[in-house]
Amino acid sequence: MSLNLHLFRLFAAVARHGSFSRAADALHLSQPSVSKGVRDFEAQVGSRLLERRGPGGVSLTEAGGLLMRHATVLFAAERAAEEELAALRGLQRGSLSVGASTTVATYHLPPILGAFHKRHPEVELRLTSANTLQIAELLSARELDIALVEGPVDEPGIEVRPWRAEEMVLIAAPDHRLARAPAPISTGEIAREIVIVREPGSGTRDVALAALEAHQIVPRSVLEVGSTEAIKQIVAGGLGIAIVSAAAAADQIALGKLSVLQARDFAVRRTLTRLFLPARQPSAPAAAFDMLLDRAADEFGGTGKPWSG
């Protein structure tokens, strides 16, 4: 005998609500149709399932109790299947808005974005690159689904979780006097230079200035520049030195346009972080992207190298 699942659902609703009228209201059906459905279901299974208790109330018989135990499992599985299908549909269409501070967006996210697109080509991707402060503000306004930054964040309502570590390097032009000096150079030599930093609100700026302060280094002067790429070009041109992400400087170092300065007792590392709104449930695309971020952190988290996907 195959149970009629529609009738089974009517019976389960009456048993759960304890009356025909309340079940009918919950199902948006008329009470007579619910009563008839339960009678038909009882006829199908060959047992009385409900004891009618007036006015309109019911209680389960032994057979009814047995079926309700199965109903709980059956309809929970149905809801789980519906949720999984909804999640799958979410990965077959829809959009994902990713925001990241400049270094993360430029040097760490591209292979992860590529891997996500290969897995979920129907999801429309949007990437916003801005400084740490701006990314935090966009997340708070719920304009981003994913947010990653390179600087400290202390904003009410935002949860900060470590993502991966990154090495910072002190760079100069290859013909700069410090690049030609015997290594390691002293921190006093750094203080004699122009140090180029990012604009206020940048995580790279915050980390660089914090490192100088920690080593009690007061540069001869500080020059603010609005992007890491511009900083690299200015330093390569012979003006000043800078502290930047090792990943950001790797291409110019490999081409011989920048040199890494080894300074005594001067090692700078930072933690790239992920930002969350604690009460917000991630969409299916956001949850899938989070899994790729976890993989990237697990595989390369301690090296600062970009993930290959």
Q: What is the pLDDT of residue 302?
A: 45
pLDDT digits 0-9 by tens, 176-186: 999 999 989 99
Domains and CATH numbers, the chain: 5-90 (1.10.10.10), 95-164+271-300 (3.40.190.10), 167-269 (3.40.190.10)
Q: What is the pLDDT of residue 79?
A: 72
In the predicted model, is pLDDT for residue 301 greater than 50?
no
In the predicted model, is pLDDT for residue 299 greater than 70?
no
Q: How many CA atoms lie within 13 A of 307 on its CB side?
A: 26
Q: What is the pLDDT of residue 216?
A: 94
Cis peptide before 219 (omega within 30 of 0): no
pLDDT digits 0-9 by tens, 167-210: 999 999 999 999 999 989 999 999 999 999 999 988 889 899 99
| Cα–Cα distance for residue pair 171/243, rounded to 1 Å | 6
pLDDT digits 0-9 by tens, 211-239: 999 999 999 999 999 889 999 999 999 99
Q: What is the pLDDT of residue 74?
A: 85
The residue-averaged pLDDT of 237-251 equals 94
Q: What is the pLDDT of residue 289?
A: 94
In the predicted model, is pLDDT for residue 2 greater than 90?
no
